[in-house]
Structure 1
């Protein structure tokens, strides 16, 4: 009899199959599991923050260095959601921007300009004559990524992908409207005569 009572007691407290299942991309902030495998507010906010603040910092650099900075920023954001099943289309969109801008930077690298460092990251310059073309390719890559994100997301992905697309569009507008640096400044920078970031002041 005691054994039967013990079994009934255990059955009362053992949770059912769905008791610990998190809400899939709940968009709410309730008690859903916060994992990059499913779309969730925390991860989406982090990706948006990385793209917003990262590109903002890139645009503070001399224009020749901005594009290498942008491609690394998109790479950092992509790695934030790498392996996430629901974020896979967003990951591929961000990686596409990174790879296309990287190809443009590598094809137009300026061998006469020094690399600069901001924080722990180093950036390379493109040739002054190629800045306009690299800028156009960067903007096109951003436009294509935004289109992919908005085209066909599942209902639970849609609000998250819309937020990422919105910050990409914002990046594009800022890049398009950013003022050009003059050729004299670029020339001085290439010769190492113009400090760009708070590095050591040797030489």
Structure 2
């Protein structure tokens, strides 16, 4: 999603302007774009929109599994993927850390309450067969599901609180972190169904 690729061109400086377009047109692999933020400003509206879209898509993907026993670990896997898509050394390092921590806590919760009668399962999107979980998901046993969902909801609340508190000292981060926290917190809806 946001992974950056570094390619070096061996062309001379004099042909850089002419060679840049053909080199990009001939490149293979995923399209990579970079958003440049003017000095002194926090983040990027385009990156924020992309991140919020990724978090929304995570919720939709997990809802589409139709299996409430998989919801907690599905959200864990999707948040892990979202965190992996945030480049290191950016204004969003703290967001990446919160997503990684939240993902790890949800994954641990699901595994501690796994259903011994069911195996782990990989999930593929019904809307897009190319989209699938990066790892098999752990189903939660039925007898523990309500308690696990309550604990998962607390984990989402903690993530939002951490983001909002970290933005208290930096006005430029406050609005963006509030939107990201709200997107993370919105995943609790899946846990109530």
| TM-score under structure 1 length normalisation | 0.65
> Any idea what SS the aligned residue of 2:187 has?
helix
Q: Which runs of 5+ in 2 are unaligned?
A: 1-35, 125-131
**For the pair shown, which has the larger CA radius of gyration, 1 or 2?**
1
> Any idea what SS the aligned residue of 1:126 has?
coil
User: What does residue 194 of structure 1 align with?
Assistant: none
Deviation of 1:52 after TM superposition, in Å, equals 0.9
* Aligned length in residues: 146
Change in 2 beyond 3 A, CA 1:117/1:22 = closer
Cα distance in 2 for partners of 1:42, 1:25 equals 17
User: What does residue 189 of structure 1 align with?
Assistant: none
Cα distance in 2 for partners of 1:22, 1:57 equals 31
Change in 2 beyond 3 A, CA 1:63/1:80 = same
Change in 2 beyond 3 A, CA 1:22/1:40 = closer
Alignment map for 1:14-25 (pairs within 5 Å): 22-24=37-39
Deviation per CA, 1:143-201, whole angstroms, max 9, x where unpaired? Answer: 011011111322222222111011122222x12432xxxxxxxxxxxxxxxxxxxxxxx
The answer as to 2:85 corresponding to 1:80 is: yes
| TM-score under structure 2 length normalisation | 0.68
Alignment map for 1:26-105 (pairs within 5 Å): 26=41, 39-61=43-65, 62-105=67-110
User: What does residue 149 of structure 2 align with?
Assistant: 135
Cα distance in 1 for partners of 2:39, 2:112 equals 42
> Any idea what SS the aligned residue of 1:156 has?
helix
User: What does residue 159 of structure 1 align with?
Assistant: 175
> Any idea what SS the aligned residue of 1:125 has?
coil
- After the TM superposition, which parts of structure 1 deviate over 6 Å for at least 4 consecutive aligned residues? none
Whether contact under 8 Å (2:119, 2:138) holds in the other structure is yes
Deviation of 1:95 after TM superposition, in Å, equals 1.4
Q: Which runs of 5+ in 1 are unaligned?
A: 1-20, 27-37, 179-203
Deviation per CA, 1:48-91, whole angstroms, max 9, x where unpaired? Answer: 11111111221233111111100011111111224134212211
> Any idea what SS the aligned residue of 2:117 has?
coil
Deviation of 1:111 after TM superposition, in Å, equals 2.6
> Any idea what SS the aligned residue of 2:115 has?
coil
